């Protein structure tokens, strides 16, 4: 907890109505460790809220929140889990293979009416972060894109503000809510979410360069190639203005890595104490140590094990994650928090 959040909870406890902004991180398969927590949040904790709530996410976080904002969030979450766990790839996998499979996963998640339900939800106001690529980041040619990523890495090394030379943050947001304000110097474009662009925006937000194809021709958006929002906002940071209320962050780590290229820059990693209003809920190191392989699932699992073994380990992680949801709901019920 940040200091302001800690004071609030000490004085008033913690409820869904205290939240002013809810955040979801990038991270691909890492989200599986939160599946049980999401089930508790989407099905028991958040439905008690009546007033509108802004959600902000990138990459896989946007897909999780797309489940939450449907009429039957747990049914949507089950569809998402079923399709995500069923991923299977040949040994010589291509960008086209991965894009095709994950397009099917996203279609399964949304179902026939998911986009309409998200945009008409009485509470949730989803905001989906992507980047609009510049320079050679626009190319899906492997060598050109790799060169663009190398240039982006070097620019970020000199300062996160330099990312703006090669891309801009593009936020597809629910038009019922005012535009979110980012206090960092990165160029930011706001685009209204619609039923016509919802699925493409979600696809773009998770379009990891060199893994999935970039997304073009998005209705209502300026021309360009849109890619993974984690490049600028991997886990987000305190530059996001939450407005009123606390910032609630169900996360797979106990710290934030601001952008994709900041993973190895430990000096840029942030704890909850750096963010005044933040309430972060994450699995403990003891919990993670007891997971299969002693770690949270990640994209490397696709290369280090065959499909059958990976599926078995991921299913075990999902089953274990139910304990996280139970622990959170118990803490809310008893208002027992560690300060």
**pLDDT (tens digit, 9 = 90+) per residue, 271-306?**
877 788 999 999 999 999 999 999 999 999 998 998
Q: What 8-state DSSP symbol labels residue 293?
A: G
pTM across the whole model: 0.95
Query: Tokens 């685009």 map to which residue?
Result: 191
Positive or negative torsion for Cα 319, 322, 323, 324: positive
pLDDT range class, residue 179, cuts 50, 70, 90: confident
Mean pLDDT on 307-312: 92
pLDDT range class, residue 35, cuts 50, 70, 90: very high
Q: How large a percentage of the chain has pLDDT more than 70?
A: 99
Helices (H), the chain: 3-12, 35-40, 60-68, 73-85, 95-110, 114-119, 142-158, 198-205, 285-289, 301-304, 307-334
Alpha-carbon span 253 to 283, nearest angstrom: 7
pLDDT range class, residue 174, cuts 50, 70, 90: very high
What does pLDDT average to over the chain? 94
Q: What is the pLDDT of residue 333?
A: 94
- Cβ neighbors of 247 (< 8 A, separation 6 or more) are 2, 5, 19, 20, 21, 22, 23, 240, 275, 277, 278, 279
* pLDDT surpasses 70 at 157: yes
Mean pLDDT on 53-81: 97
Q: What is the pLDDT of residue 47?
A: 95
* pLDDT surpasses 80 at 252: yes
Q: What is the pLDDT of residue 4?
A: 92
Q: Which of 191, 206, 9, 214 is nearest to 102 (CA)?
A: 206
pLDDT range class, residue 241, cuts 50, 70, 90: low
pLDDT range class, residue 242, cuts 50, 70, 90: low
Cα-Cα-Cα-Cα torsion 206, 211, 215, 221, nearest 10 degrees, comes to 40
Mean pLDDT on 192-217: 97
Mean pLDDT on 43-57: 95
Residues forming a β-bridge with 247:
21, 278
Burial letters for 288-309: b for 16+ Cβ neighbours within 10 Å, e otherwise?
A: beebeeeebbeeebbeeeeeee
């Amino acid at each position: 907890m940040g200091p302001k959040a800690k004071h609030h909870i000490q004085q008033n406890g913690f409820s869904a109505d205290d939240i002013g902004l809810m955040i979801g991180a990038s991270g691909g398969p890492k989200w599986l460790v939160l599946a049980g927590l999401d089930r508790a949040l989407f099905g028991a904790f958040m439905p008690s809220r009546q007033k509108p709530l802004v959600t902000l996410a990138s990459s896989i976080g946007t897909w999780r929140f797309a489940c939450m904002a449907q009429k039957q969030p747990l049914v949507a979450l089950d569809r998402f889990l079923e399709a995500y766990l069923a991923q299977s790839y040949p040994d010589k996998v291509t960008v086209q293979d991965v894009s095709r499979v994950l397009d099917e996963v996203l279609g399964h998640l949304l179902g026939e009416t998911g986009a309409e339900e998200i945009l008409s939800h009485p509470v949730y106001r989803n905001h989906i972060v992507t980047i609009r690529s510049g320079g050679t980041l626009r190319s899906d040619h492997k060598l050109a894109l790799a060169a663009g990523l190398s240039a982006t890495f070097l620019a970020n090394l000199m300062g996160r503000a330099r990312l703006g030379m090669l891309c801009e943050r593009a936020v597809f947001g629910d038009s019922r809510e005012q535009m979110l304000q980012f206090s960092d110097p990165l160029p930011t474009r706001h685009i209204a979410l619609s039923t016509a662009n919802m699925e493409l925006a979600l696809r773009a937000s998770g379009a990891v360069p060199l893994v999935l194809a970039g997304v073009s021709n998005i209705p209502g958006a300026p021309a360009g190639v849109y890619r993974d929002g984690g490049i600028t906002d991997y886990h987000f940071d305190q530059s996001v203005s939450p407005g009123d209320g606390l910032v609630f962050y169900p996360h797979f780590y106990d710290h934030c890595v601001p952008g994709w290229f900041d993973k190895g820059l430990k000096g840029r990693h942030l704890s909850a104490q750096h963010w005044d209003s933040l309430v972060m809920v994450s699995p403990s190191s003891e919990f993670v140590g007891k997971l299969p392989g002693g770690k949270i699932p990640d994209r490397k699992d696709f290369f280090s094990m065959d499909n059958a073994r990976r599926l078995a380990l991921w299913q075990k992680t999902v089953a274990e994650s139910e304990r996280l949801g139970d622990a959170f709901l118990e803490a809310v019920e008893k208002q027992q928090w560690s300060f």
